[in-house]
Amino acid sequence: MLKNNKREKKNFSMVFHHFLEKIMPTLFRMTALVSVLATFGILFTLLTETFHFFEQVSFIEFLTGRDWYPFFADDPSYGIWPLLSGTFLITVIAMSVSVPIGLASAIYLSEYAPERVRKIIKPSLEVLAGVPTIVYGLFALTFVTPVLKSFLPSLPIFNALSPGIVVGIMIIPQITSLSEEAMGAVPQEIRDGALALGATRLEVTLKVVFPAALSGIISSILLGVSRAIGETMIVSTAAGSTPILGFNPAQSIQTMTSYMVQVSMGDATYGSITYYSIYAVGITLFLFTLLMNVLAKWVSNRFKEEY
7 versus 156: the higher-pLDDT residue is 156
Spell 215-236 as b/e; 16+ CB within 10 A means b: bbbbbbbbbbbbbbbbbbbbbb
Give the model's pLDDT for residue 13.
65
Give the model's pLDDT for residue 296.
79
Give the model's pLDDT for residue 202.
86
Distances (CA, A) of 299 to 175, 186, 208, 233, 272: 15, 17, 19, 29, 41
Residues 35-66 pLDDT 10s:
788 888 888 888 888 888 888 888 888 888 88
Rounded-to-integer distance, Cα 204 and Cα 196, Å: 11
Q: Where are the domains of the chain?
A: 93-267+285-302
Residues 105-123 pLDDT 10s:
999 988 888 888 888 888 8
| Burial status of residue 301 (CB atoms within 10 A of its CB: 0-12, 13-18, 19 or more) | exposed
CB-based contacts of 43-50 (< 8 A; 24+ apart in sequence): 43/286, 45/279, 46/279, 46/282, 46/283, 46/286, 47/283, 49/276, 49/279, 50/276, 50/279, 50/280, 50/282, 50/283
Q: 93-267+285-302: which CATH architecture?
A: Orthogonal Bundle (1.10)
Give the model's pLDDT for residue 10.
59
**Helix ranges (DSSP H) in 73-187:** 81-107, 115-129, 133-139, 145-151, 161-184
Is 186 a residue whose pLDDT tops 90? Answer: no
Give the model's pLDDT for residue 16.
63
Q: The pTM is what?
A: 0.85
Give the model's pLDDT for residue 307.
56
Give the model's pLDDT for residue 261.
87
Residue whose C-alpha is closest to residue 283's, from 78, 81, 67, 47: 47
Give the model's pLDDT for residue 270.
78
CB 223 within 8 A of CB 292: yes
Give the model's pLDDT for residue 15.
65
Is 301 a residue whose pLDDT tops 80? Answer: no
Q: Which helix (H) or strand (E) is 78 found in, with range?
A: strand 77-78
- Residues 253-280, mean pLDDT to the nearest whole number: 84
Give the model's pLDDT for residue 2.
46
- Percent of the chain topping pLDDT 90: 24
Is 93 a residue whose pLDDT tops 70? Answer: yes
- Residues 80-93, mean pLDDT to the nearest whole number: 92
Residues 131-181 pLDDT 10s:
889 999 999 999 999 999 988 888 899 999 999 999 999 999 999 998 988
Within 8 A by CB and 6+ apart from 179, the residues are: 102, 103, 106, 110, 213, 216, 217, 220
- Local confidence band at 197 (pLDDT 50, 70, 90 cut-offs): confident
Rg (C-alpha) for the chain, rounded Å, is 26
Q: Worst-scoring range by mean pLDDT, 99-103, 178-182, 195-199? A: 195-199
Q: What value does the mean pLDDT of the chain take?
A: 85
- Residues 222-237, mean pLDDT to the nearest whole number: 89
In DSSP terms, 68 is beta-bridged to 78
Give the model's pLDDT for residue 5.
57
